[in-house]
Amino acid sequence: MSQASNQTAAQVENPVPGEFDTVQLDAVDAIISQNRGRPGALIPVLKDVQDLTGYLPLSLQRRIATGLNLAFSEVYGVVTFYSFFRQEPIGRHLIKVCMGTACYVRGNKDLVEHLGRDLDCKLGGTTEDKRFSLEGVRCLG
């Protein structure tokens, strides 16, 4: 049997060309294979992969699902349920603005508008140069 036929579908599927290098993809595959067959491994795998790559695009979610022998819908459901998982890359600097009621009453809307104008970035977005991301969050306390 050839080596190519021994590869899993996860190893064969390649994300968007240039999105991740082979070193990152090999590391992703290592994380998956270290956790294959372990009950409850999905969230730790997603966290480790996101720590490595910065975010979890659909291509990596498919790779994880295939590698862990899970339905893609299960992986996607977990990624979209937990707010700490990201499907889009974020900027080098993440600016979090409280969107809670108390901050809203005290004028955070003006702050968000000001930041958006200065950065040329909408809430939930990232600047073109990938330096800043602007994120709305619940109470920061």
Rounded CA-CA distance 22/121 in Å is: 31
Q: What is the pLDDT of residue 131?
A: 94
To the question of pTM greater than 0.85 for the whole model, the response is no
Q: What is the pLDDT of residue 85?
A: 93
Q: What is the pLDDT of residue 1?
A: 36
Q: What is the pLDDT of residue 137?
A: 85
Rounded CA-CA distance 14/53 in Å is: 14
Give 61-88 pLDDT, tens digit per residue.
999 999 999 999 999 999 999 888 999 8
Q: What is the pLDDT of residue 18?
A: 64
**Maximal CA-CA distance, the chain:** 67
105 burial via Cβ count (<10 Å: 0-12, 13-18, 19+) = exposed
Give every residue of the chain whose pLDDT is below 70, as ranges. Answer: 1-18
